[in-house]
Amino acid sequence: MGVFSGPLQSLIDELGRLPGIGPKSAQRITFHLLKVAPEDALRLAQSIIAVKERITLCTRCFNVAEGGLCAICLDDRRDITSVCVVEDPRDIVAVEKTGEFAGRYHVLQGALNPIEGIGPDQLRVRELLARLGEEGIAEVILCTNPNLEGEATAMYLARLLKPMGLVVTRIASGLPVGGDLEYADELTLGRALEGRRVIEA
Amino acid sequence: MYLASLSISEFRNFAEATILPDPTGTTVITGSNGAGKTSLLEAVGYLATLQSLRGSPKEAMVRIGAERAILRAVTMVGDRSMDIEAELAASGRSRTMVNRQTVRRRADLGEALRITVFSPDDIAVVRGGPAERRRFLDEALAVVAPKTTLHADETEKILRQRAALLRRAGKRLSPEVEATLDVWDARLDLAGTALVEAREALTEQLAPLAEQHYSRLAGKAVDVGLHYRRSWSGTLRDALAASRPDDLVRGITLVGPHRDELELTLSGLSGRTHTSQGEQRSMALALRLATHQLATERLGSAPVLLLDDVFSELDPYRTRALLEGLPPGQSILTTALPPPPEVAAATTYEVKPAGMVNALVSERGDG
C-alpha cells in the first residue's frame, strides 16, 4: 500500500497504528530511526520487548508492576488503612504527583459502561471487596473520572461499600488553582459552589 | 444586531452574489421555484450555525464544478462590526473565521450572527410525532436557557447506557444488573427531572406568546393551548422503579423525558389531528415567533428572522396580518409569489434562474 517497500514500510505501518500517530508522523519517526546510531534504535526495540515481557498487573491493586506486587504496594511506609480507587494506572501517576495521598490504590481497569459491555464483573470490584476484608482498610476514596461513566461507577461503589461501615468519600469537583472565575465553565463553577466549605479564619 | 451584507461565491447555483439587507426592516427575496431563494437563507444559516438549514453535507453546497464556496457576512453587533467568512471545500477541510480568527466549534461563533428560522418543514412540529415537538422545545431551550443543554445531553447519554444494559440483561434481573440499573436510574432521575422542569417552565412562557401571535394571524381571539405532558406521575425515580419489569422485557426505557409530549390545541381541539393545513402552518409560525420573542428578551437584541416560503398555505388575510405584525428587527423572507402590496419592504431582491441576483427598487420608493 505504501510508497516504500520491505522493512521501511512495515515500520511506518506499525507506528501508524499507535494512538495519536498519523501517517505523516509515522513516516517522520521511521526516517528519524533510520538516521540515529544503531545502539539508540536497538535500545528502543529492547525497551518495547522488555515492557511486554516483564510488566504485569499488580496482584493486589492491579497497577502496573514488574512481577508480583507494584512499587506502591511494596512500599511499607504507605498507610494501609486508606485506599484510593481509580479507573486506570495513569490516574495513579496523577494522584501521586499531588503528594497528598499516602495510602494504597486500587485500579478498576475501567468504568461502568454498558454500551461497551463493561459491568461490575468486567471491573476489579470483587477484588476490591476481598481486599477490604483482608487489609484492615478504613477509608475508601472514590477517584474515578468526573464524567457520566465515572460518576455512575462511584455511585455504584458507594452503595456497595457504605453498608460495610467504611468511610467512603468522593473527590471534590472544583476550580483550577491559579485560574480566574470568569473563565470557569458553568457546570464546574456550579459544582464548586455546591461543595463550598467554611473558611478558616 | 443585524446582517449588513452577505456575499457568496460558488455557493449552490450562484457564481457570485451580494445582498445588502435592510438593517431594521424586511428584505424580500423573490424568484421562481428552484431559482435559489432558499440557498441565500441557507448561506446566512451556515454562517450562524456552521451547518446547512436543509441538513445537506458541506460539499453539496459547493457549486458543481467548483473547488470551494466562499461565504462572507458583515454583521453589526451593537456598534461593533463583525466579519464572518466561511470556506466550504468540495473535498477536504472547510474553515470559518470570525474577524480573521479561526473558529472550530459552533459555540465559538458567539454572538456574531444569531438567527431564528421558519421554514416550510416547521409544520412537522405541529403535524409530526411527539419527538418533533420535544426537539422544538430542546432547541428553544438551547437559546433561551443554554445551561439546560447539559441536562439534555446527559439524559440522552444515560438513556443510551440504560438501553444497552437492558438489552444485555436479556430479560433477567440478576443482582448485578439490578445494582447497576439502580445507579443509572438515580442519575436519570437527576438529569431527567431537571430537563423536564426546564421544558415545563419554557412551555409556560411560550403559551401566552404563541396565543398572541396565533390570534393576530387569525384576526380573532383563538384559544391556543400548550401543555407539557409527562409520561409519568410522581417522581421519575419511583416511575422508573415501577416500570422496570416492563423495561426489562421490552429492552427500552418506557418512562422519562424522551417519552413526554407537548400537547398543542386550537380552541380545545388537537392541533395535530383536528386542524387544517393552513391552521397548522399558522400554529407552527406562531410557535416560532413566540421563541423568537423569548430569544430577543434573553439576548437583549433580536436575532435575524429568516422566513422561508412563508406565504404558501396562508390565506391573503393571514399573509397581511403576518407582514404587518412582524417583530421589530431585521427579517429576510423568501417568496415565489409576488410580494403582497402591503409588504413594508424597503429592499427587494429578485433571484433569476441563472443564479443572478438583482436589486429591485421598492415601489414604496423610500429605500
Structural domain includes residue A60: no
Residue A193 has a pLDDT of: 87
Let me know whether A91 and A173 are in one domain: yes
Mutating which of A155, A162, A186, A189 best tests the B interface, going by the most B Cβ atoms within 10 A? A155
Q: Give me the mean pLDDT over the A8-36 stretch.
A: 92
Which chain A residues have a beta carbon less than 8 Å from that of B173?
Answer: none
Q: What separation, in Å, do the N-terminal and C-terminal C-alpha atoms of chain B show?
A: 20
- Which cell is B28 given? 424580500
Domain boundary among B286, B302, B318: B302
Give the total number of structural domains in chain B: 2
Residue B133 has a pLDDT of: 96
Q: Whole-model pTM above 0.95?
A: no
Q: Say if the Cβ atoms of B161 and A156 lie within 8 Å.
A: no
Let me know whether B283 and B326 are in one domain: no
Which amino acid is located at B139 in the chain? E
Nearest CA in chain A to B149: A187
**Distance, CA of A110 to CA of B219 (rounded, Å):** 62
Instruction: State the ipTM, two decimals.
Output: 0.77
Q: Does B333 or B343 have the greater pLDDT score?
A: B333
CATH number for the domain spanning A22: value is: 1.10.8.420
- Interface check A134 vs B, CB under 8 A: no
> Which pLDDT tens digit goes with each residue over B220-259?
999 999 999 999 999 999 999 999 999 999 999 999 999 9
Q: Is a pLDDT exceeding 70 seen at residue B57?
A: yes
The most confident of A18-22, A149-153, B145-149, by mean pLDDT: A149-153
Q: Does B105 or B97 have the greater pLDDT score?
A: B97
Listed by number, the residues of chain B in 175-204 with a beta carbon closer than 8 Å to a beta carbon of chain A are: 176-177, 179-180, 182-184, 186-187
- Interface check A189 vs B, CB under 8 A: no
Structural domain includes residue A71: no
- Residue B324 pLDDT level (bands cut at 50, 70, 90): confident
Shortest CA gap A152–chain B (Å): 6
Q: Is a pLDDT exceeding 50 seen at residue B342?
A: yes
Let me know whether B193 and B164 are in one domain: yes
Which chain A residues have a beta carbon less than 8 Å from that of B176?
Answer: 119-121
CATH number for the domain spanning A136: value is: 3.40.1360.10
Q: Is a pLDDT exceeding 60 seen at residue B93?
A: yes
Shortest CA gap B21–chain A (Å): 36
Alpha-carbon distance values, B59 to A195, B95, B285 (Å): 48, 12, 31
Residue B216 has a pLDDT of: 94
Residues spanned by the domain of A176: 76-198
Of B150, B161, B177, the CB nearest to A113: B161
Let me know whether B240 and B99 are in one domain: no
- Interface check A155 vs B, CB under 8 A: yes
Q: Does B260 or B120 have the greater pLDDT score?
A: B260
Residues spanned by the domain of B134: 122-302
Q: Is a pLDDT exceeding 70 seen at residue B366?
A: no
> Which pLDDT tens digit goes with each residue over B129-167?
999 999 999 999 988 888 888 899 999 999 999 999 999
Mutating which of A148, A173, A185, A187 best tests the B interface, going by the most B Cβ atoms within 10 A? A148
Q: Is a pLDDT exceeding 90 seen at residue A67?
A: no
- Residue A33 pLDDT level (bands cut at 50, 70, 90): very high
Q: Say if the Cβ atoms of A152 and B160 lie within 8 Å.
A: no
- Interface check A188 vs B, CB under 8 A: no
- Which cell is B5 given? 451584507
SS3 sequence of chain A: CCCCCHHHHHHHHHHHCCCCCCHHHHHHHHHHHHHCCHHHHHHHHHHHHHHHHHCEECCCCCCEECCCCCHHHHCCCCEEEEEEEECCHHHHHHHHHHCCCCEEEEECCCCCEHHHCECCCCCCHHHHHHHHHHHCCCEEEECCCCCHHHHHHHHHHHHHHHHHCCEEEECCCCCCCCCCHHHCCHHHHHHHHHCCCCCCC
Q: Does B173 or A39 have the greater pLDDT score?
A: A39
Q: Is a pLDDT exceeding 60 seen at residue A54?
A: yes
Q: Does residue A195 contact residue A173 with C-beta atoms inside 8 Å? A: yes
Residue B364 has a pLDDT of: 40
Q: Is a pLDDT exceeding 70 seen at residue A1?
A: no
Q: Give me the mean pLDDT over the B307-317 stretch.
A: 87
Nearest CA in chain B to A111: B180
Of A117, A119, A148, the CB nearest to B176: A119
Q: Say if the Cβ atoms of A120 and B147 lie within 8 Å.
A: no
Look at strands A103-107 and A79-86 and give their pairing: parallel
Shortest CA gap B204–chain A (Å): 25
Nearest CA in chain B to A147: B154
Let me know whether A103 and A50 are in one domain: no
Let me know whether A141 and A48 are in one domain: no
Let me know whether A46 and A139 are in one domain: no
Let me know whether B285 and B350 are in one domain: no
